[in-house]
Structure 1
Amino acid sequence: MKTSTHLVINIVMCCIVLSHPVTPTRSNHTEIKVGLLLDLNSRLGKMMESCMRMAHFDFYKSHPLYRTRLLFRTKNSHDILDAASGALELLNNDEVRAILGPQTTPEAKFVVELGIKTQVPIVSFSATSSSLSPARSPYFIQMAGSDSCQSKAMAAIVEGYGWQEVVIVYEDNGYHDEFIRNLSDAIRKAGIQILLTSAVSLSANDSQILDEVYKLKTVSARVFLVHMTSLLGSRFFIHAKSAGMMSEGYAWLITDGLSNLLGSMDATVIDAMQGVLGLRPYVSKSKDLTTFRERWERKSQYTKPKAELNIYALWAYDAVWALAMAIERMGPINFKETEQHNAQNMNDLSSSKAGPVLLKEILSTRFKGLSGDFNLVNGQLLISTFEILHVIGKGERPIGYWTANRGLSRYPDSVGRSSKYSTSVNVLRSIIWPGDSTVKPMYWAVPSSGKRLKVGIPVKEGFTEFVKLKEFHNSKEYNVTGFCADLFRELLVRLPFKIDNPQYIPFGDPATGKSAGSYDDLLTQIEDKKYDIVVADVTILAERAQKVDFSTPYLGSEVVMLRQVKYDGVNYMWIFLKPFSSDLWLTIGISCIFMGAVVRTLEHRANTQRQLGMLVWFPLASLVFPERNMVASKWSKFVLVIWLFTAYIVMQSYTANLSSNLTVSRLQRPTDKLYCIGFQEGSFVKEMLTKRLDFNVSRIKSYASVEQYHDALSKGCHNGGVDAILDELPYIKIFLDTYGETNYILQGSSYKTGGLGFAFPKGSALAPHISMALLNLTGSGEMHAILSKNFGPEYSDSDYSFNSASHVSSIGTKSLAGLFIISGTMAIFALLFSAPWFQQRFSDVSTRYKQSCVFPSPPSDVIELSVHSALDIRVDFSTTAVTENSFTMPNQSDENGHTGVAISEDDVNLNEAGSC
């Protein structure tokens, strides 16, 4: 009994000593008053105050010869009003040289203004808001990591898990706006979309918090990033669990505002936060830290509730050491004079002369503290490494680390193990996600609070190749078929998340079983949140895109005009004359006579007997009977080649123009008064006809199927039908595949649209995923199979040809004038070059050229032969053998088969020069 009593007494004495440490005394030390501004009613405030007194004891125990001593003056600040009055008392009555605290950002915001006024350093180790920037408040020292430091780390985690959308939830107290901006910028730079930013007031009651939770549940994103203090955050997660949002499929991330205080939260809160990922500044292990933790454990084991040592307590401990070092370097002499006087308000406060020097000394302090390297950069504690933790069981477990400019790793550098850094979370440890799931949550889910995906389907009478709806035995469940339905089901398989059993809702009149309106009316239902998606052949238009979102188009489209081919029987018998104009026909006739005259003249010069009829029949006969011997003269052959070339071009032009006239130009054109246009029922083409093309409403008619199209075109406008159908190309293709292309033609200009796609409510998270799946599906074998199944194996995405003009004009003389000029000029040249006088003149010029240039002076061993034909011949007797009686010249054959002309010796007269 006595032993137990002594043990209890010893423990109590130890606690008293630890709570009120006795500083080693020196007769010549100077006490410097320092204010402590903490919320001693809170668990965190008590912890920090206790750690600061332990730091005071440890520091002067380690430095017994220091000339200065810190003398704490403590004020309890439970709210902003307490902090303001407490700071005034510390500055005015206690004449403190520095203030450690206050504990929260709103309190610090006010006290910092007092510090600027009096030039007294305000040192905080728990107010981490980015709005308290030392750059804007020079006498504020943030001996804690600013919350903006974790922005890039948080973005790296979200990016590493492959989440592309996130919802940010934060405490709305007016001091986190700058951090939310920094965090949003970092997340967006990582290519991640912020789907929603939700602010929850600190003063919100349980009902208001629960309402906000249910609002978050209705959004499509499943990744939530929470930035709150422990007071609000603990309540928020309890309500999130009650709303079913801490179950499988959800992912939650928390910033250091909650992560740093997990050890002090109740078991109920920890149970609600199972599977949450947290981020907090990393504290490297050291011998001093281990020793301090052991002391703290011994001290706090008898306190209720038991307090877990956190980073704020370590920063408070290091802050005391940093301030004690800075004051010692200044020396006692700088604090002897009283620099303040009694004041009743802020305006009466005077400035401290020692304040600027003390501020400079604090900012330049460097040492190894319990929280790590103490290094202030621009008045803030430098944090380069963050610990990623996982809430599991009754506490948390580290799963990895993030280091600035290096990325994610499983181990920190301080443990002495080689760390592999990466941007992927594969280097981190495994996680048990909310709902005890080992599968990484997707970042998207159906935004319907557990309900099925609502799919709007139009009720169509025709063109059911796209979509057709059939009810199962009055069960309000429908079987949807067609191209759009098959494509939609294929896209669901390709999504990165699972959508089971979508609910198909028809857009129709239950009484009549027909459509309830146009496609514009259908899209209005999306605006009213009645559908999560519309699966149909909806055309993407600019006006519609202002109200709803669209996927990537799955089929290209344009508006075209379809007409039936009908020929005018009255003038059809003379259509062969239509390709050429009358002046061109006359030009062709004149050209034939001219070419005949030229050939006859050339043949006559060649002594060939040709009749006068050659003037007409020869140019035509040469086209049909191109025999080689039709002409004998070489000039005639030249002219014939030119004529055949001209005639070939003329015939090709005639053929092309006749083909156009047979298909387009001979179509019957109704008068403007009776011109009627048909369009598809419910289509936007009606507005296009009336507003853009300015058609009379009485002259446009709607039809629902290809059969009705065919019937209306067959009747024509006079018989109650239409003259043309204006519709989008995919529907026209279906019509042409059904009735053939022989009797119908696409005519006129086309009007481009955005194509056919699926429609979504504005801001729908499903739209980009469907679009991405469509891009992956386009051009694949599955897409071709879906097209063939619904439109037939011959269906093609390629466009049909258009006849852009409604009338093809005849070809005139001007179009071929150059051709006739060239052929006529060449014929005239042939006449000129074949004339006798031109030939004689050319022969004389050639002879003189030969005599003067080719053979200027004949050699002595050459003889001249004078032949009966008056042909001058030179023979070189040095190389030519002459027989006794004759020698051979061309045009006569000898016995060896050589041809030549026999010349006798009597016919040869040798002159003195050796010529004959």
Structure 2
Amino acid sequence: MNLKNILIQLIVFIGLELKSVFSGGIRIGLICDRNVAEMQTVFETAIEVANANLEVPLLFTESEVPFGDSYEAYKVMCDMLMMGVGGIFGPSSKNSVLHLMSFCDAKEIPFMSSYIDVDSSKSVMINLHPHPSDIARAIHDLIEAYEWTSLTFLYESGDYLNILNELISLYDSGGPYITARRYDLQLNLNYKSILRRVRKSDDSYVVIVGSVETLPEVLRQAQQVGIITEDYSYIIGSMDMQAIDLEEFKYSEVNITTFRMFSPQQPEVRKLITELGYPDDDEERNITCPITIEMALLYDAIQFYAETTKTMRFKPVAMNCSDKNNYWDKGSSIGNYLRLTVAQGLTGNIYLENGVRSHYNLELVELTSTGLQKIGDWDSDKGLSINRFTPEEPILESDSLSLVNKSLIVLLAMNAPHVTLKQSTMKLSGNNRYEGFGVELIQRLAEKLGFNFTFHMHKDGNYGSFNSTSNISTGMVREIMEGRADLGITDLTITSEREAGVDFTIPFMNLGISILYQKPRKADPKLFSFMDPFSGKVWLWLGISFFGVSLAFFILGRIAPGEWDNPYPCIEEPEELENQLSMGNSIWFATGALLQQGSEIAPKALSTRLLASIWWFFTLILVASYTANLAACLTFENPTSVIDDVKDLAENKGGVQYGAKSSGSTRTFFKNSEDETYMLMNNYMNQNPSLLTSTNDEGVERVLTENYAFLMESTSIEYNVARICNLTQIGGLLDEKGYGIAMRKNWPYRDKLNNALLELQESGVLAKMKSKWWFELGTGSCTKKTEQSEATEMGMPNLGGVYFVLLIGSSIAAACGLIDWLFFVLRKARRYKVRFMDALKEEFQIVIDFSNNTKIVCSTGSIYSRNSSLTIDSNELNT
């Protein structure tokens, strides 16, 4: 190492020491390798909370490293040690944790980790995660309570084998039969082969231990192979079950039990959720909570470490990793003090015994239709206690209008996403066969009002109507009127005809009729598309400028004395002078500059050179603008739509045919409308009954295969557009209406359903349900791309400046040329001793003789020839 590097390191070291002294706080470091943004937010929030009760504040430094990169983590840690840190909060990777822990042990720097299985015997190592033996004891107690006689133990990797070993050691020869199966990342997230073995075995009891990264996919694939049903029971040994989205498993009737160290309803947890940028939604938190066990333990570790600064006084020192004899003499004391400290955090009581967390409590929770509900506790000292209780029930009325324990028949009609058949490898029966927005809505209402229900499918798909004149009803309306069903739900529109025969709830979704058509197609390229970069006005002014500048070159060339040359250089006193800037040459010079090719013409006089420079600048900017915009115009093909609104459709613009579903509210709307446009469309559909369809799916298919537009409800259009990339909605809504739940006339429980719907609407549940069934489930093939901005022609507002520069420059050049010519005439008049006006008149006659590009120096009859004794030197005169 040379002297320069030694001096640099010395300066950095001194600077860091001074910074530590003047900072007035204790610096601690965080090394992140997963969920970096969330972990840093938790880290900073925890320090902010801790500093509120500290005299000496905690300072923080954060760094991100690749997951599993021990070398990079080591380099980052060495940088932190150079700054002087009082503790390191380690990464998530086990390899990185072990590497950094051994080094911190040598330097006696407190090291904190939340990895599940790390040796905590070292004095500087603090791990707040429950020990694998405790997790095994909790699982053992739960298995004993459930009286399982055999089970399958699924574990993610070798890191979780200690839990299995501890669990086996808790049983004697009479324990349950345990089949261990491993799933890991080496299977590229394809666990179906392992899960099929579970399905084919006789075990219906499963224990799963793994990380939050793999558990969601394991459960999802388990559902796909048919083992997430009421026939199976699961114990999840991970503490991160609350961080998984459990929405799709709530209604599977599977028994899933797990442990957690904190409740999402705790005020500190809710505050932390808000700090991470998530809404504080009680109902949503029961289904999924963004706070993982790793985040919670990091938060608690900060509070735990802060306890030492309340009684101990110390200041971190900067250390060099390359110095093997360098260590922090206060580090072991801090570690020993932490092992004797008791604190409270998000995860409850924090107490270490022999470096292992003890005297703490775990919540036992079970997955229900409303999310994770607490059913008991597991104490590390007292063991398991199950206090199963019914989740908070809605207030139930005792009068005769209560729906509690009533059994209702709900009539369904197949139409995605309102009602569809559930996809499953197992044979389903009863209510489990159906899913969709309408199905979930009935389930939500049943939870609130306490009734039971049975789904019946209306097979012909006819929603029906009621004719009050003939008293004839059809479809679903007829079955409800005749008492064969209590409720009817699908995309059933509330209309006056139907309300004459049945009652409806308040609308649970508002919509209108719109037009479904193919997305705009790309326009055919034009023959003269190369003209598109500029507007017509720009091209016009370009032509005017071109001929104007060419004419200016020609005139200035005749005026400027410097442009009149001796055609025979060997003759010192020529009789004639020649000008190269003829009209043709001037046009050729302007053309060469415009096309960026140049020419053999070279201006010589100041005025012509100035004009040439301005013209070159003008053409440079104009050609560059043209080239740039030409690339955009040629690569971008502006999509064009045949129809833009309902008027275009009514006029059959572009030969587009149109139709609607032959029976239903959409067809009724056109029949009853008194608007001229809609009446014209109704006549067209009456004259062309072949354009009407029996189902919405048939109409969608015709839109895709024919020059055809389909009139349907906007909600159905949104659903199809989100899944079929070639479709789009044309124009706005033609009317306004709503979907409702149909029931018999004067049904006594209508107000109960209305109140429950209002509660779901006000709490945002209906909006979330629509987002789920319309835009989340089943979508993905038509991901939204960033819309390419349309290439537009450049007009005079874009290029007016360069024309202005050309005009000003040309004016200056003309002024220079005129002044130069006048001085030339003046010098010539003095030399030949003639009057200035006479000389000006004669020179002007030579200039305006456009047919002649040569000039006789002293012709017979000229005013200059009268003084023949003077010697004529053309070069001198020009100079």
Give your verdict on TM over 0.5.
no
TM bracket, shorter-chain basis: 0.3 to 0.5
The normalised TM-score by structure 1 is 0.37
The normalised TM-score by structure 2 is 0.38
